Amino acid sequence: MKFTKQFQKYESELTQFINGLKAKNPALEESQRAGRALLWDKKPIELDQQARDRESTVSRQSYVYQNKLQD
């Protein structure tokens, strides 16, 4: 979409704020990437380990506070 000449140099207040923030702190983007890597980027899943974990789990009853009736 092509804007008219009037709007080509327009920057919103939010864009101006973010650009100013990045100018004040040049390491901001790198710290954001490090934080993302810490919280979201995970190691590849080993399928053998995943299968062993699934087989080793003990099933529980669906409602843990209700005891089974003994007949």
User: pLDDT (tens digit, 9 = 90+) per residue, 15-67?
Assistant: 999 999 999 999 999 999 999 988 888 888 899 999 999 999 888 777 777 77
Q: Choose between 42 and 4: higher pLDDT.
A: 42
- Token representation of residue 65: 């506070």
pLDDT of residue 1: 58
Q: Is the pTM of this model over 0.75?
A: no
Q: Could you tell me if 4 and 11 are in contact, meaning their C-beta atoms sit under 8 angstroms apart?
A: no
Q: Which residues contact 10 (CB under 8 A, 6 or more apart)?
A: 3
Say whether pLDDT at 71 is over 60: no
The identity of residue 60, as a single letter, is R
